[in-house]
Amino acid sequence: MKSIVFLSNNRKKALLSQFCNAYKPILSKYEIFATFGTSQIIKQHGLNVYSFLSGTVGGYRQVISKIYCNEVDLLLFFRDASRFHIDSLSKLESEVLTACDFCNVPNATNVLTAEILLRALDSGSFF
């Protein structure tokens, strides 16, 4: 079964919720993984989701490991672009995206690209 990893910064949780509501019929076909806070939003829409730790306490490292083990088919990251400062969290976020690039995992950091990639995954366009 194909797997999708969701990540979401706090300021994008409402957008994540809307996305899950709109795409629930598609998302329900896949294994979903998410960091703890993000998984709670996804669960509110009746979707099954496997929870990692919170991003700040190891969840991002768990995602990176899953990517390098070739266990991620798509990563959807609802990222707050206004967070341009460099801190430990944004460094980890960058490492997640670098892992995707290294392992050729399709990823989105905005909702429009997330919609396009999810539809492509569902239609079998890139696997």
CATH number at residue 25: 3.40.50.1380
Output the pLDDT for position 82: 77
Q: Is 105 helix (H, G, I), strand (E, B) or coil?
A: coil
Task: Give CA torsion, residues 40, 110, 28, 117, to 10 deg.
Answer: -160
Q: Which stretches in the chain have pLDDT values below 70? A: 83-89, 127
Output the pLDDT for position 90: 80
What does pTM read for this prediction?
Answer: 0.94
Output the pLDDT for position 126: 74
Output the pLDDT for position 53: 97
Query: How many domains does one find in the chain?
Result: 1
Output the pLDDT for position 22: 98
Tell me the residue range of the domain where 112 lies: 3-123
